[in-house]
Amino acid sequence: MKQALIKGPKSDEYYTPMEVVEQIFEYYKPEGKILLPWDQDWSNFYKYCCEHNFDCEHNIRDFMTADYDFDWIISNPPYTEKDAIIDRCIELGKPTVLVLPIESLGGIKRHASYRKTKLNIFIPERRIGFICEDGKRRVGANHSIYLGLNFDEQKIVLE
């Protein structure tokens, strides 16, 4: 049985399909060591890194408080923790790509955080069919984006 790294009263445990992982790596072209904080052995991000010989670290339980040696962060984080995660990623200053609902762009607090970095946003044309804990695909109610933080230039790309 898969065990989520973060659980609350309502699980937001949805897994990223391989085609999304491939699209992220193709668009962003990360180099160096990749941190996959919320990914475990069955994660498509972790599988992709292993299959393509990326140096990566995954299954991290203390991301919010510990320091790690890495060049990139790439993951589909728990949505219920997104504000704290966005702030932590900006604080770390390394290129970061997070799969998040498009609504993650708005909000007074988030705008204050986004002003501290340069965003590189990729907007997929279609909603993502995330994989539920039971293995079934679920097309979410929200449209998702790939939110890039800490990039050299700010840009938005439509698929």
In three-state secondary structure terms, 56 is strand
Pairing of the two strands 155-158 and 120-123: parallel
Whole-prediction pTM: 0.89
- What is the pLDDT at residue 1? 36
Higher pLDDT, 127 or 1: 127
Which band of pLDDT confidence, cut at 50, 70 and 90, is reported for residue 129?
Answer: confident
Which band of pLDDT confidence, cut at 50, 70 and 90, is reported for residue 131?
Answer: confident
* The CA-based dihedral angle spanning residues 157, 151, 43, 113, taken in that order and rounded to the nearest 10 degrees: -100
Judged against a pLDDT cut of 70, whether residue 7 lies above it is answered with no
pLDDT tens-digit map of 67-120: 999 999 999 999 899 999 999 999 999 999 999 999 999 999 999 999 999 999
Return the H-helix or E-strand segment holding 72: strand 72-75
- The side-by-side arrangement of strands in the sheet containing 56-58 is 56-58, 34-36, 72-75, 96-101, 144-149, 120-123, 155-158
Which band of pLDDT confidence, cut at 50, 70 and 90, is reported for residue 58?
Answer: very high
Rounded Cα distance, 61 and 41, in Å: 14
pLDDT tens-digit map of 14-56: 789 999 999 999 999 999 999 999 999 999 999 999 999 999 9
Q: Cβ of 37: how many Cβ atoms within 10 Å?
A: 24
In three-state secondary structure terms, 29 is coil
Mean pLDDT of the chain: 90
